């Protein structure tokens, strides 16, 4: 099943959504749900989206206790007001149904589906979530989905996956499983990921959903991490999946605009608003015409610098 792509602005969810809350969404940090200490403290780290992990960070014998810890955390006051996704176990596992039932009933606002290979998987997930939402009295459609693309099939099907349900707000490339599937090896320059990064990004942009890059596994290699962030920011990713809180401020700083970029963005937004109030169709800044995409990019720049651009992202 494939649905028509939404008419929302490109990558809109990265900055907007969630009850129209206007804020950047760059860092998506995994927190192993089996670790009670992390689950009670990790909320302080300032990730844009936390992801309680029930899948690969949790050993088989801890699956049930991790599910309980995640459900308790979702209901606890510390995590209220933060954006939290839950990575459930794969649809082909015996844990999946319990994970989905328990997390949605506990109030998870987003499910991260691992190993999303086909749009049919998303359609099936959508149907199951709808049943659970109805059964527990949650608004139907209120649970969002981030689909993780972790295989060659997933990369090939990325656009169909991204438009398979209106619940999908983002897709994320998962480097470890993808490279395993490809029989490829991780290198410092990331050439082995280049095709997948571009394919997944094109799918996300065409489907108007956000797009997140792979986990960087060596948490002590700050230089390597920053080089990778520089690359993926330039390619157009909204941000990155992370595994360690030390990576959050590095990512946010790299995505923050420079003072010059911010000053220019402010002038573009002011000029656009002035033109709008005077009923002018075309406007120029420094002799250059500014149009819709330039104004939208300027508003996004202001948002990423911590400003609330008047008029919101258009």
Ligand X SMILES: CC(C)(COP(=O)(O)OP(=O)(O)OC[C@H]1O[C@@H](n2cnc3c(N)ncnc32)[C@H](O)[C@@H]1OP(=O)(O)O)[C@@H](O)C(=O)NCCC(=O)NCCSC(=O)C[C@@](O)(CC(=O)O)C(=O)O
Binding site for Mg ion (CB under 5 A): 150, 174, 177
Q: Which does 309 bind (CB under 5 to 8 A by kind): Mg ion, ligand X, none?
A: none
Residue 101 touches which of ligand X, Mg ion, none (CB < 5 to 8 A by kind)?
none
CA 181/CA 193 separation, integer angstroms: 12
Q: Closest separation between CB of residue 27 and Mg ion, Å? A: 18
Minimum CB distance to ligand X smaller for 41 or for 142 = 41
Cβ-count burial 156-191 (b if 16+ within 10 Å, e if not): bbbbbbbbbbebbbbbbbbbebbbebeeeeeeeebe
Residue of 75, 246, 263, 314 that binds ligand X (CB under 6 A): 246
Cα separation, 260 vs 197, in Å, equals 29
Give the integer Cα–Cα distance in Å for 35 and 52.
Answer: 10
Using the rule CB under 6 A, is 83 a contact of ligand X? no
What is the maximal distance between C-alpha atoms in the chain? 66
What is the C-alpha end-to-end distance of the chain, expressed in Å? 29
Classified as helix, coil or strand, 31 is strand
Q: Would you count residue 245 as binding ligand X (CB under 6 A)?
A: yes
Phi, psi of 151 (to 5 degrees): -150, 170
30 binds, among Mg ion, ligand X, none (CB under 5 to 8 A by kind): ligand X
Map residues 4-33 to x or -, x wherever contact with ligand X holds by CB under 6 A: -------------------------xxxx-
Footprint on this chain of ligand X (rule: CB under 6 A) = 29-32, 38, 42, 53, 56-57, 114, 148, 150, 172, 174-177, 214-215, 219, 241, 243-246
């Amino acid at each position: 099943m494939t649905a028509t792509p939404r008419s929302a602005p490109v990558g809109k969810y990265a900055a907007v959504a969630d009850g129209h809350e206007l804020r950047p969404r760059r860092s998506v940090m995994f927190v192993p749900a089996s670790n009670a200490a992390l689950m009670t403290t990790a909320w302080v780290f300032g990730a844009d989206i936390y992801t309680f992990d029930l899948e690969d960070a949790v050993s088989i014998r801890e699956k049930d206790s991790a599910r309980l810890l995640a459900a308790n955390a979702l209901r606890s006051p510390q995590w209220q007001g933060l954006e939290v996704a839950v990575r459930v176990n794969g649809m082909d596992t015996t844990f999946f149904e319990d994970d989905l039932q328990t997390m949605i009933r506990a109030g998870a606002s987003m499910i991260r589906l691992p190993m999303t290979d086909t749009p049919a998987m998303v359609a099936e997930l959508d149907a199951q979530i709808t049943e659970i939402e109805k059964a527990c009295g949650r608004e139907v459609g209120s649970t969002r989905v981030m689909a993780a693309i972790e295989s060659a099939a997933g990369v090939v099907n990325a656009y169909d996956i991204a438009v398979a349900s209106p619940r999908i707000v983002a897709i994320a490339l998962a480097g470890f499983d993808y490279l395993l599937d490809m029989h490829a090896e991780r290198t410092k320059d990331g050439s082995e990921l280049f095709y997948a990064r571009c394919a997944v990004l094109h799918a996300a942009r065409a489907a108007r959903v956000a797009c997140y890059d792979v986990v960087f596994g060596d948490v002590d290699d700050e230089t390597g991490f920053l080089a990778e962030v520089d690359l993926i920011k330039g390619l157009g990713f909204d941000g990155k999946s992370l595994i360690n809180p030390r990576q959050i401020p590095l990512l946010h700083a790299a995505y923050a605009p420079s003072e010059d970029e911010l000053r220019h963005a402010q002038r573009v937004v002011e000029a656009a608003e002035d033109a709008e109030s005077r009923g002018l169709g075309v406007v120029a800044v420094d002799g250059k015409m500014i149009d819709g995409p330039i104004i939208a990019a300027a508003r996004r720049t202001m948002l990423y610098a911590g400003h609330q651009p008047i008029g919101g992202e258009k």
